[in-house]
Amino acid sequence: MQDNNNRWILAAQCPSRLGTVDVVTRFLKEQRCYITEQHSFDDRLNGGFFIRTEFRPEADGFDADAFEAGFAERAAEFAMRFELTPPGRRMPVVIMVSKADHCLNDLLYRYRVGQLPIDIRAIVSNHPDLAPLAEWHDLPYHHFPITPETKLEQEAQVARVIEETGAELVILARYMQVLSSGMCERLSGRAINIHHSLLPGFKGAKPYHQAYDKGVKLVGATAHYINDDLDEGPIITQGVEPVGHTDYPEDLVAKGRDIECLTLARAVALHVERRVFLHARRTVVFDR
């Protein structure tokens, strides 16, 4: 992970207009801030502009409030929405999981060694199985069983945990429940899901076994924001792994687990580092 001891992030978006890059770079120069990384994109089809800038203040006594107030005045001319993220900030998150532990284990390891700038406030599950894993990491574990009859009640419990912990991001680390329309709306733009992506697509039980029977040559995973269309939210990132005739169903499953872990962790990192912009049903992603 990059050194972020004095790395501020300014992420902004607005309608396409002449001068959008200049309003950012000129203001940073005037504030004596040195740009260390910058990405921008202008969507010529839909008329949207996106910019992400990392910078370090050159002068002592950087005043974030004054910076935001001053930039807001400049940004208003462009109807520019922006967010300033201070160095070393760890985004508060809640992780949701069912019985499979591979994605949770991977996130917890990256969290423990400081590879992901997140602050895990709680783990929520519809099963008790992974409570010992949370306990080992000294993290709160909430077991909320769910049935078709208690779905809305269970989601209300989950929503209370998210609100009370101040979580800004919810990570569905193989949470095997379909969220209600109300929950999807509540978490719009701040909940990331992971699922397999096999070509051709296989739904239902044992997708990797179905893929083996069809002789697929690629297994993969997709990380996306949730929405009311099952597994069809705006995509953040995807990963693939080749497979061959020597790979049996259990090999496909193992490769699938690995690529799910990597893809989910990458998507979380991109989100918390303010590299992802929602743009209608799509995303703009400034990769590392």
**Tens-place pLDDT, residues 22-75:** 999 999 999 999 999 999 999 998 889 999 999 999 988 899 999 999 999 999
Render pLDDT for 3-34 as a digit per residue (tens, 0 to 9). Answer: 456 899 999 999 999 999 999 999 999 999 99
**Residue 215 is encoded by which pair of tokens?**
């002789």
**Residue 270 is encoded by which pair of tokens?**
């991109």
Across the range 221-229, mean pLDDT stands at 91
The C-alpha atoms of residue 117 and residue 126 are separated, in whole angstroms, by 26
Same fold, 8-85 and 91-285: no
- Does residue 101 carry a catalytic annotation? no
**Active site residue: 231, 247, 251, 287, which one?**
231
Predicted pLDDT of residue 199: 60
DSSP 260: H
Render pLDDT for 83-138 as a digit per residue (tens, 0 to 9). Answer: 999 999 999 999 999 999 999 999 999 999 999 999 999 999 999 999 999 999 99
| Domain range annotation of the chain | 8-85, 91-285
CATH topology of domain 8-85: Alpha-Beta Plaits (3.30.70)
Sheet architecture: strand order including 235-242: 141-143, 118-125, 91-97, 169-172, 191-196, 218-225, 235-242
Tell how strand 118-125 and strand 141-143 pair up: parallel
Predicted TM-score (pTM) of the model is 0.93
CATH code for 91-285? Answer: 3.40.50.170
